[in-house]
Amino acid sequence: MSQSAQPATPVAFPPAFLWGAATSAYQIEGAVREGGRTPSIWDTFSHTPGKTADGDHGDIAVDHYHRYREDVALMAELGLTAYRFSVSWSRVQPTGRGPAVQVGLDFYRRLVDELLAHGIKPAVTLYHWDLPQELEDSGGWPERDTALRFAEYAGIVGEALGDRVEQWITLNEPWCSAFLGYGSGVHAPGRTDPVAALRAAHHLNLAHGLGTSALRSVMPARNQVAISLNSSVVRPLSQSPADLAAARRIDDLANGVFHGPLLHGAYPATLLAATSTVTDWSYVLDGDLRAIRQPLDALGLNYYTPTVVSAVDGAPDGPRADGHGASSFSPWPGADDVAFHQTPGERTEMGWTVDPTGLHELIMRYVQEAPRLPLYITENGAAYEDKVDAGGQVHDPERIAYLHGHLAAVHRAITDGADVRGYYLWSLMDNFEWAYGYAKRFGMVHVDYGTLERTPKSSARWYREVARTGTLPGVPGVPVAPAV
């Protein structure tokens, strides 16, 4: 850790800092056949044997579709000032095309009204991985048409909610959609084709650009449009030239493939060179890079753990340990000669190392790379094996320590000059953790999957106090950023 242990001095965040929590539609809503909703790629994938732990799926999830009022009341009790959720495209445009289904939009109108009535600022993510299955059947993200369909969908949702939602996020973690969905296949739709993965990445970028323009054409100018990236903090295992080169290559595939066109108007030359044996990038058409580089109002950063890599001779044997699920297919096209390493230190239930210095490093990278762009931490949190005790309480001191360390890192970045305006804890409540099913609990609220009862964990009470005071308590022995 680069922070030194500090005395137990509490630190104050800027007064307007947003204290939020995040979720996504397929992970919490359930009600998959209601209101004309049709299957998304995650419905299909999770119902395909062998794709998720225990065959878990989101048919019921945590039934938020029916319990949203109670959930918003809980958010208010927990003192949240912001809430990030996603819209299910299949509820709004069941075939991924054509006119909107009002019943679907009405659910989100009611949810937003409920949030506003409780003084909670909504942040809408348009796409959190649940492509309508019909669009996948027509080719999915590797095909250009999907980007055009996304722009149409963005315009529909923007028109319906743009008068009351100010914060918009086009895509959540397009890296996962492209490289886990079409490369390693551990996410829906489960394809394992490196060319499809790179094509998907480009069309996701294009979808962001076209979607941003569509939103701006129907919404008041005060609204902010952003994208949430899971930008990786890539560290070389050693300072050897080979390891440094491996780290640069993975940085291009994890970050440059999105930062390049979004922030700088071009794919990095080093990325194009390193993937030239895989693809010729001929699907990047004239005008695409201009369409993608829309001025962003803010950037969302999702951070969990750093990535450590080294160079190897030839392809490593067996499944990869890169923290994104086991597959013998790589999510890193053209990088078979790179090995991924578990970093030393304490781990969460996902096996991810707890390292808040990575969050500080990530934020400061953007201060350099995109000066003046407001930042939000749109996801950060940890899974632990939380259990309800005999007294009906859930004590999760590890999560409190994780949040404390990471919020201290955010604070330190603010002190170092970063314009970070809010933090969305992943997640409000335990939910369907994709290929891991319900086995991994990320919530600050525990959910009993038998009764669907919600029980705030001790971390929720801790976070409420942080949100109420806007101040992070000092804890002896825990590295804390200096006071502003």
Binding site for ligand FCB (CB under 6 A): 24, 27, 172-173, 176, 230, 302, 379, 426, 433-434, 442
Q: Toward ligand FCB, which CB reaches closer, 195 or 401? A: 401
Q: Toward ligand FCB, which CB reaches closer, 252 or 433? A: 433
Q: Toward ligand FCB, which CB reaches closer, 332 or 426? A: 426
Phi-psi region of 113 (alpha: psi -120 to 50; beta: other; left: phi over 0): alpha
Q: Toward ligand FCB, which CB reaches closer, 167 or 230? A: 230
CA 428 – CA 436 distance, rounded (Å): 18
CB of 181 to ligand FCB, least distance (A): 12
Q: Toward ligand FCB, which CB reaches closer, 384 or 434? A: 434
CB of 150 to ligand FCB, least distance (A): 17
Handedness of CA 165, 171, 173, 176 (dihedral sign): positive
CB of 83 to ligand FCB, least distance (A): 15
β-strand partners of 228: 172, 300
Nearest to 30 by CA among 432, 434, 439, 454: 432
CB of 176 to ligand FCB, least distance (A): 6
Q: Toward ligand FCB, which CB reaches closer, 93 or 230? A: 230
If one counts every other C-beta atom within 10 angstroms of the C-beta of residue 5, the result is 11
CA 404 – CA 356 distance, rounded (Å): 9
Q: Strand ranges (DSSP E) for 130-242?
A: 167-172, 224-229, 234-236
Query: Which DSSP category does 345 fall into?
Result: S
Give me the active site residues, please. Answer: 173, 379
CA 345 – CA 34 distance, rounded (Å): 45
CB of 227 to ligand FCB, least distance (A): 12
Q: Toward ligand FCB, which CB reaches closer, 133 or 232? A: 232
CA 183 – CA 296 distance, rounded (Å): 28
Strand (E) or helix (H) holding 339: strand 338-341
If one counts every other C-beta atom within 10 angstroms of the C-beta of residue 148, the result is 17
CB of 187 to ligand FCB, least distance (A): 10
CB of 26 to ligand FCB, least distance (A): 9
State how far Cα 405 lies from the chain centre.
19
Contacts of 271 (CB under 8 A, 6+ apart): 252, 253, 256, 257, 260
Cβ atoms 5, 402 nearer than 8 A: no
β-strand partners of 224: 167
CA 227 – CA 296 distance, rounded (Å): 8
Strand (E) or helix (H) holding 209: helix 194-218
